[in-house]
Structure 1
């Protein structure tokens, strides 16, 4: 799915680089007089894979809601997929941005079948009513469910799924529209160790796929960052602690600053692992 030719013409009249899917300049989000995020300068290019990490309340979800065209910035200039926010129909933008989040999960009917839930994403609806789906859509849904390891859930209903299973299905739904930008809000939350590792492997393969959309993923845990991710943005209390190439951002010093405690970061192969540094000496009996 692509933006219309008319919208494409608007893109060139706005002062933004067409290779940028996200172009935030001094963007802030303010509610009830409180600044939840910002000001943030942040750009995401076509072939980049970003992870956003930080403690609870850092503003991660608020930031990606703006990147998903789900929320309007309070201040600053924001472009998504070449369009200036506030001067274009947000529904058109959402059609080319795949989003997997807990807020979406909470709106899904308990009796919705997994197959219908994934297919209906292509029709911009949540919950099947009287729609008749094309065979090509069914085939695409089956292929995506197979890719995320959720093919066996095809005929299950949403209310019978575990948290880990729901995460897989939400990712499949987000991929159904062939998005230009895929945003994953804590995709590993609720998964056991085996499920998390399976998901990390899938997302790593996706990150290395040259034909895959640009990726933005939120996580609290560096262990959930898949291989192949290129950039990181570290947030704390709505402000950027560091952003840029992932190895430059993910350091013991930066993580200690963001999480307000001494953190030791190690890298084994292409994966990151973090732990708190023991304070003082060992206890004696």
Structure 2
């Protein structure tokens, strides 16, 4: 029996993303980036996407965001098959968060969130009625940054910007939210604020599916119930976190001994002689 969410098994919930036999090759030199990827994400599931640099995480996230097409295989996002749909319309239904995405830097936080409604870099003021403006303010409150509504985005901290960008991505009420290393360069308090914000989001939106690319297990919020490990463009392991985020699989994924610890729904991973014990194959995560 699959894990349950809001009283339903994962099989009962709608498919948000479906990849079958997906491969991606670089056109310039024929290099294989992804190979034979099969993956299904359902409504209400929260996935962690992990792997060493160059494993194919960014390419996989681009496929989910309808930002590129596969070389082989099929990709369906929100019921639309890439290659048979206007990707510009599809992208408006997908929330995408990246610290590198283009947003206006010379406006306040509320304006940045408003641009998520129009899907533009610069604000289109005539498209923002009272309902839209109210929704932007409600999202800032939901992400715990309501007090930043009129603060210039340029002077907000990294953690504050991350939550503002998530609020922006949620403006069109997308069924799928993609987070590309949202914790990048955050200090510990900012990281924990973002973890708590994501947990609240998962609890208040039971049908929202998320995929978070990260290098650190400490950044996973407790609602993350599934994980996908990539190694050299192939899926090494995927499924419920209890069977994937283990010392053996993490060791195989990153190519060095890894110790995995779980406590009160939070994760941590360690490697090297300073951990105090070697993450031998056969070791299990601590509950």
- Alignment TM-score, normalising by the size of structure 1: 0.87
1:220 is matched with which residue?
A: 215
Q: Distance in 2 between matches of 1:113 and 1:41?
A: 41
Residue 55 (structure 1) aligned with residue 52 (structure 2): yes
**Structure 1 residues 281 and 129: alpha-carbon distance in aligned structure 2, compared to 1, 3 A threshold:** closer
For residue 113 of structure 1, the aligned residue among 99, 108, 116 is 108
CA-to-partner distance for each residue in 1:194-244, whole Å, 9 max, x for gaps?
A: 111111112122223353411111110001111011110011222111001
1:65 is matched with which residue?
A: 62
Q: Distance in 1 between matches of 2:173 and 2:184?
A: 24
Q: Which runs of 5+ in 2 are unaligned?
A: 1-11, 278-287
Superposed structure 1 runs of 4+ greater than 4 Å apart: 279-282
Question: 1:146-225 residue pairs with structure 2 within 5 A?
Answer: 146-225=141-220
Question: 1:120-139 residue pairs with structure 2 within 5 A?
Answer: 120-139=115-134
Q: Distance in 1 between matches of 2:130 and 2:274?
A: 61
2:19 is matched with which residue?
A: 24
- Residue aligned with 1:131, SS: helix
Q: Distance in 2 between matches of 1:278 and 1:41?
A: 36
- Residue aligned with 1:227, SS: coil
CA-to-partner distance for each residue in 1:85-143, whole Å, 9 max, x for gaps?
A: 10010112111110101331xx2232133211111211221212553521111111111
**Structure 1 residues 131 and 280: alpha-carbon distance in aligned structure 2, compared to 1, 3 A threshold:** closer
- Alignment TM-score, normalising by the size of structure 2: 0.86
Q: Which runs of 5+ in 1 are unaligned?
A: 1-16
Q: Distance in 2 between matches of 1:83 and 1:129?
A: 28
- Residue aligned with 2:100, SS: helix
Count of residue pairs brought into register by the alignment: 264
Q: Distance in 2 between matches of 1:279 and 1:200?
A: 27
1:3 is matched with which residue?
A: none
CA RMSD of aligned residues (A): 2.1
- Residue aligned with 1:103, SS: coil
- The answer to whether the 8 Å contact 2:115/2:124 transfers is no
**Structure 1 residues 111 and 208: alpha-carbon distance in aligned structure 2, compared to 1, 3 A threshold:** same
- The answer to whether the 8 Å contact 1:37/1:238 transfers is yes
Deviation at 1:254, TM superposition (A): 0.7
1:275 is matched with which residue?
A: 270
Deviation at 1:163, TM superposition (A): 2.1
2:226 is matched with which residue?
A: 231
